[in-house]
Amino acid sequence: MSSQPRPTQRAGPSVSTTVTEEPPLLAVDNLHTTFTTERGDVPAVDGVSFAINEGEVFGIVGESGSGKSVTALSLLGLADGATVTADRLCFRDEDLLAKDEAALREIRGNDISMIFQDPMSSLNPVMTVGEQIAEVVRHHGDVGESQSLFAELRRKYVTGTSESSASWQRAVELLDTVGIPDPADRANEYPHQLSGGMKQRVMIAQALAGDPDLIIADEPTTALDVTIEAQILNELLDLRDEFGVSIMLITHDLAVVRETCDRVAVMYAGEMMETADTRTLFEDPRHPYTRGLIDSIPRTDDDREWLDAIEGNVPDPTAKPQGCPFRTRCDAAFSLCEEPLVAYSAEEPGHRTWCHLYNDAVANDGDEVQRVDDAEAKQLIQEHEASDDLVTPQRPNFGGEYR
Amino acid sequence: MGMRRYIAKRVAHALVVIYIVATIVFFAVRAIPGDPARVLLGGDASAEAIAALREEMGLTEPLYVQYIRWMGRILQGDLGTSVFSDQSVLQMLIGVAEPTLSIAGLGMLIALLIAIPAGITSAVKQYQWEDYVATTVSFIGISMPGFWIGIVLLIIFADRLGWVPAFGYVSFRQGIIPWLKHIILPALAVGLPYGGILMRMTRSSMMEVLNEDYMRTARAKGLDGRLIVFKHGLQNALIPIVTVAGILLGVLLGGVVAVEIVFGIQGLGRLLIASIQRRDFPAIQGAVILISFVFVFMNLLVDVLYTSINPQIKYGGSE
Ligand code: SF4
């Protein structure tokens, strides 16, 4: 270590606080991802904000259709046919929205990698698992093997990948790291020769191959059975400890969140509902939706689908109600809920709730809401919104990546 | 099962198919009305002369005796002698097979070389001008029968422009360029309809592959577009195409017959039709056996290819 003191403050125009925290690894502020369809614009992600710190496991939890997967794809420019905007979308202080396709390719796999839900369909059936990992190692670029189109096609169709090449060796090592027995033999196998859990381990090895800072795991265990699920989640946590990689874990399962995540964001209909550290969220949930979710986590002797506990359905994204999207299902809904949501901070640092019950002008003792002064409350909402009113840069549309 | 054993098994299987085809043809030609002695001697020949010729040809013997004799000869590699020209059928077939296989082979090559790249481009550039051009051309190819394309090409390139000869065939032994000049138009005529269908297949297969989860994985790995298409997509897209290409071979071989007539080429197709008109039993049988031979072995080749590009299939297993 150098003996020089660390600079206590990062250079930058917007640093005005005296707090000298590390900036987050990933900062997302007011993210909007809108798909244009024949039936009209679909706001799949509608004003999402969160931050992920180094070495953290951050959970995003929500029902299917809540926009959690689209959020992940939007980060990497992989949301095809969508328009992505945000006040801020920064990875290590680099603006992801300002990057063109070529620059994003450098980020993908290298700095941020992804693990998808279904390992059966997410691995290429005609390539050996070794090669699928080795190509990421080459893409990462520190083994000095050519990854030109010609070289890659020759490897694929003519010579195969040499087992003595550094990239292949590294692939075997990675298979070993993620707990696959006989990695040297397994590397030569095709995905259909492996079990579901093994395939997901291959996906993890592949995600690690570029030595990323952030792994986005999109429902990584949903397609697997329960015993394998626990193994895979433990594997991910071990890797976090070993490599210091941050993990963004997308899931519909609060029980998974409780077991694995440091902090968590709850999403509903493309919007944020609540974010807090995991412990706070479970001990002191403030949002009615979060409370409903926690109440409905099944006990081990209970087979019910946990979502049954909340009445009603997720709103149709093309016809979302004005204001809070949850108000069609919310027992606590009141007059202010037709106003657009804003974040209300709780005492616990980092605990924010997007629910008008926590407007200062609303007397709220937890169960009873008394409308004290609607006009004053609306005023507060507007002030809140104005403070967030930044310029929104437009992201180029990357629909059709193969050109 | 290893590849060797698989191929040996498939060859044995192919031989059985050819045997069955040969047997069916043997009885079928004898079931059609008209007999070779009468055709050969003409309408005003005397009944005695016809009977004598039938005797000489062995046609008076019971069918099963004829069949066993014929089989015995075939197993010795003897396809018999044409009743019409007294030439050995094998010699005749060797003479006509070359132009036919040249046309079919070049036609197939042209079709594959155009259809696969065009289909991939079309899928990747979906709903852009490249796609519209490729689908329109393939649509034209599909909608026009080969002999009609042949006539149009003949009028333009042989008659008007005079770039290539209009009729006949020259063996490649007399020079590659003259050979190519004679077969290029017929090859295009059989290749374009075949290529049109293949292009449509490639387009839809590739489009399906582009939407697969593993393609999204490849993008999330940071690979660039062309690499994703050609390394991760192409082989998957080709799996269904190889099967269809094999089945369509029959269509292509059928097309050659009509095209040979348009271009006045003495090929297998014309020999077969002439032999049927003359009731030249040995020649018909020989030609059909040769065609089924080509067809069965091309399909065998396709199967081996299919197995080798699809790791999910084991040789001989049907997983
Ligand atoms: S804003 Fe209103 S409708 Fe929405 S969760 Fe809060 S109380 Fe319920």
Please give the domain boundaries of chain B with CATH numbers for all domains. Answer: 3-75 (no CATH), 97-314 (1.10.3720.10)
Residue B208 has pLDDT above 90, yes or no: yes
Beta-sheet pairing, A57-61 with A246-251:
parallel
Question: Where in the sequence is the domain holding A130, given as residue range(s)?
Answer: 114-211
Q: Is the CB of A356 under 6 A from ligand 1?
A: yes
Integer-rounded Cα Rg, in Å, for chain B is 24
Please report the pLDDT score of residue B145 as a whole number.
Answer: 85
pLDDT at B252: 84
Between chains, do B219 and A108 touch, taking CB under 8 Å as contact? yes
| Mean pLDDT of the region B284-311 | 86
Residue of B nearest to A191 (CA): B312
Does the C-beta of A326 come closer than 6 Å to ligand 1?
A: yes
Are A104 and A77 contacting, i.e. CB atoms less than 8 angstroms apart? yes
pLDDT given for residue A300 in this prediction: 55
Q: Tell me the pLDDT tens digit for each residue of A255-283.
A: 899 989 999 999 999 999 999 999 999 99
Residue A174 CB less than 6 A away from ligand 1: no
CA distance A72 to B222: 15
Q: pLDDT of A70-85, one tens digit each?
A: 999 999 999 888 899 9
Is A312 within the bounds of a domain?
yes
- Residue-wise pLDDT for B228-271, tens only, equals 999 999 999 999 998 888 888 877 888 888 888 888 888 888 88
Please choose, from the candidates A99, A62, A60, A67, the residue with its C-alpha nearest in 3D space to the C-alpha of residue A82. A67
The residues, any chain, with a CB within 8 Å of residue A316's CB and separated by 6 or more, are none
Which one is predicted more confidently, A354 or A398?
A: A354
Residue A302 has pLDDT above 60, yes or no: no
- Asked if residue B138 has pLDDT above 80, the reply is yes
Report pLDDT for A13. Answer: 41
Q: Work out the percent of chain B whose per-residue pLDDT is above 90.
A: 22
| Mean per-residue pLDDT, A127-150 | 86
Interface of A to B at Cβ within 8 Å reads 76, 78, 102, 104-110, 113-114, 116, 118, 121-127, 135-136, 139, 149, 152-153, 156-157, 190, 192, 203, 206, 210, 400-403
Q: Quick one: angle between helices B234-262 and B281-309, nearest 10? A: 160
Tell me the DSSP string of A176-237. HHTT-SSHHHHTTS-GGGS-HHHHHHHHHHHHHTT--SEEEEESTTTTS-HHHHHHHHHHHH
Q: Domain boundary at A164, A179, A211, which?
A: A211
A:B CB pairs within 8 Å: 95
Amino acid A61: pLDDT: 94
**What phi and psi values does residue B109 have, to the nearest 5 degrees?**
-60, -45
Report residue A300 as tokens. Answer: 């081990």
Atom from ligand 1 closest to the CA of residue A327: 3
| Burial (CB count within 10 angstroms: exposed 0-12, middle 13-18, buried 19+), residue B288 | buried
Beta-sheet strands, E only, within chain B: none
Query: Over the stretch B30-63, which tens digit does the pLDDT of each residue have?
Result: 887 777 777 777 777 777 888 887 777 777 778 8
Instruction: Indicate whether A7 pLDDT > 80.
Output: no
Report the length, in residues, of chain B: 319
pLDDT over 90 (residue A362): no
Q: pLDDT band for position A370 (50/70/90)?
A: low
Q: Which amino acid is at A399?
A: G
Separation of alpha carbons B103 and B264, rounded Å: 13
| DSSP, res B313 | S
User: What's residue A399's pLDDT?
Assistant: 35
- Is ipTM beyond 0.90? no
Residue A203: predicted pLDDT: 94
The confidence score (pLDDT) of residue A261 equals 94
- Higher-confidence residue of A390 and A346: namely A346
Q: What spacing in Å lies between the alpha carbon of A331 and ligand 1's midpoint?
A: 8
Q: Domain tally for chain A?
A: 2
Residues B281, B31: Cα–Cα separation, whole Å: 11
Q: Give domain status of residue A9, yes or no.
A: no
A358 part of a folded domain: yes
List Cα–Cα distances, A80 to A61, A154, A213, A309, B246, in angstroms.
22, 30, 24, 34, 36
Residue B1 CA to residue A301 CA, distance in Å, equals 48
Where among A156, A189, A211 does a domain terminate? A211
> Residue A403: which pLDDT band, with cuts at 50, 70 and 90?
very low
| Residue A190: partners with Cβ closer than 8 Å, 6 or more residues away | A125, A126, A127, A128, A129, B311, B312
Q: What is the pLDDT of residues B75-100, one digit of tens each?
A: 888 888 887 787 888 888 888 888 99
A201-235 per-position pLDDT tens digit? 999 999 999 899 999 999 998 888 888 888 899 99
Contact A121 B212 (CB under 8 A): yes
For residue A93, being part of any structural domain is answered with no
Residue partners of B155: CB distance under 8 A and separation at least 6? none
Mean residue pLDDT across chain B: 86
- DSSP, collapsed to helix, strand or coil, labels residue A45 as strand
**A9-18, A179-188, B167-176 — most confident range:** A179-188
Which residue did the predictor score with more confidence, A239 or A365?
A: A239
How far apart CA B234 and CA B120 sit, in angstroms, is: 8
What average pLDDT does the segment A47-71 reach?
91
* Ligand 1 atom nearest A273 alpha carbon: 5
Query: Are the beta carbons of B167 and B263 closer than 8 angstroms?
Result: yes
| pLDDT number for residue B109 | 92
| Ligand 1 lined by A332 (C-beta under 6 Å) | yes
Last residue of a domain, one of A211, A233, A257: A211
The minimum CA-CA distance between B137 and chain A, rounded to whole Å, is 22
- A73, with CB counted inside 10 A (0-12, 13-18, 19+), is buried
Residue B190 clears pLDDT 70, i.e. is over it: yes
Query: Would the CB atoms of A156 and B221 count as touching at under 8 Å?
Result: no
Which range, of A51-60, A123-132, B59-68, B183-192, averages the lowest pLDDT? Answer: B59-68
- SS3 at position A295: helix
pTM over 0.90: no
Pairwise CA distance, residues B255 & B145, whole Å: 8
User: Is residue B136 less than 8 Å (CB to CB) from chain A?
Assistant: no
**Facing B213 at nearest CB: one of A122, A127, A156:** A122
Confidence at residue B46, expressed as pLDDT on a 0 to 100 scale: 79
Q: How far is A209 from chain B (nearest CA, A)?
A: 10
Q: Residue B214: its pLDDT value, please?
A: 94
Q: Could you tell me if residue A37 is inside a domain?
A: no
How many residues does the structure list for chain A? 403
CB contacts of B210 in chain A (<8 Å) are 402
Residue of A nearest to B232 (CA): A124
pLDDT of residue B168: 81
A293 part of a folded domain = no
Q: Which residues of chain B neighbour A81 with C-beta distances below 8 Å?
A: none
Domain-located, residue A48: no
**Residues near B192 by beta carbon (within 8 Å), at least 6 away in sequence:** B110, B111, B141, B144, B146, B149
Asked whether the beta carbons of residue B220 and residue A109 sit closer than 8 angstroms, the reply is yes
Closest of A94, A110, A105, A75 to residue A211, by C-alpha = A110
**Residue A396 pLDDT greater than 60, yes or no:** no
DSSP B137-174: HHHHHHHS-HHHHHHHHIIIIIIIS--S-SS----GGG
β-pair partners for A112 = A108, A214
Q: How many CB atoms lie within 10 A of CB A25?
A: 23
Q: Where do runs of H (alpha helix) occur along A284-371?
A: 288-295
Neighbours of A24 (CB within 10 A): 19
Q: Say yes or no: CB of residue A362 within 6 Å of ligand 1.
A: no
Judged against a pLDDT cut of 70, whether residue A125 lies above it is answered with yes
Distance CA(A264)–CA(B212), nearest Å, equals 30
Which of A291, A330, A354 has most ligand 1 atoms within 8 Å of its beta carbon, as the pocket-test mutant? Answer: A330
Q: What is the pLDDT of chain A when averaged over all its residues?
A: 81
Q: What chain B residue is nearest to A75 in terms of C-alpha separation? A: B220
Widest CA span in chain A = 76
| Residue A129, domain member (yes or no) | yes
pLDDT at B291 over 60: yes
Q: What is the DSSP string of B246-298?
A: HHHHHHHHHHHHHHHHHTT---HHHHHHHHHHHT-HHHHHHHHHHHHHHHHHH
Residues in chain B closer than 8 A to A136 (CB atoms): 221-222
What's A147's domain CATH number? 3.40.50.300
User: Letter for the amino acid at B23?
Assistant: T
Asked whether the predicted pLDDT for residue A6 surpasses 80, the reply is: no
The contacts of residue A55 (CB under 8 Å, 6+ apart) are A240, A244, A245, A246
pLDDT at A374: 63
